[in-house]
Amino acid sequence: MPLLFVFAAILMVRVLTLDPPPGAGPDQNVMSGLGFIWNPDFAALLDPKVWLAAAGQIFFTLSVGWGIIHTYASYIGPDDDVALTGLSTVSLNEVAEVVLGGTIALTASVVFFGVVKAQAIAGQGSYDLGFHAMPLVMEQIPGGRLFGALWFLLLFFAGITSSVALMQPTIALLREDFGLPRNRAVYVTGGLLFLCANPVLFFLSHGFMDQLDFWAGSFGLLLFGFLEIVVFAWVFGMTRGWAEINHGARLRIPRIFHFVIKYVMPLGMGAILLSWSATNLLPELTLEKVAEADRPYVIGARLLLVGVLVCYWIAVRAGSRRRAALEGAA
pTM of the model: 0.86
Residue 63 confidence (pLDDT): 84
- The mean of the pLDDT values for the chain is 90
Rounded to an integer, what distance in angstroms lies between the CA atom of residue 28 and that of residue 113?
A: 7
Residue 120 confidence (pLDDT): 87
- Give the closest residue to 175 by CA, choosing from 166, 184, 187, 167: 184
Q: Which residues of the chain have pLDDT under 50?
A: none
- Find all residues with CB under 8 Å of 280, minimum gap 6, and list them: 48, 49
Residue 119 confidence (pLDDT): 85
Domain that holds residue 72: 2-329
Q: Taking CA 249 as the corner, what is the angle to CA 98 and CA 56, rounded to the nearest 5 degrees?
A: 30
In the chain the first and final C-alpha atoms are separated, in Å, by 42
- One-letter amino acid of 144: G
Given a contact cutoff of 8 angstroms between Cβ atoms, the answer to whether 39 and 27 are in contact is no
Given a contact cutoff of 8 angstroms between Cβ atoms, the answer to whether 253 and 241 are in contact is no
Helices 103-123 and 2-16, interaxial angle, to 10°?
A: 80
Residue 126 confidence (pLDDT): 62
Rounded to an integer, what distance in angstroms lies between the CA atom of residue 89 and that of residue 87?
A: 5
Residue 125 confidence (pLDDT): 66
Runs of H (alpha helix) within 140-262: 144-176, 182-202, 208-214, 220-230, 238-246, 256-259
Given a contact cutoff of 8 angstroms between Cβ atoms, the answer to whether 286 and 69 are in contact is no
Q: Is the dihedral of CA 111, 113, 119, 121 positive or negative?
A: negative
Beta carbons within 10 angstroms of residue 8's beta carbon = 23
E strand or H helix that includes residue 78: none
- Find all residues with CB under 8 Å of 218, minimum gap 6, and list them: 52, 53, 55, 56, 57, 60
Residue 11 confidence (pLDDT): 95
Count of domains forming the chain: 1
Given a contact cutoff of 8 angstroms between Cβ atoms, the answer to whether 262 and 233 are in contact is yes
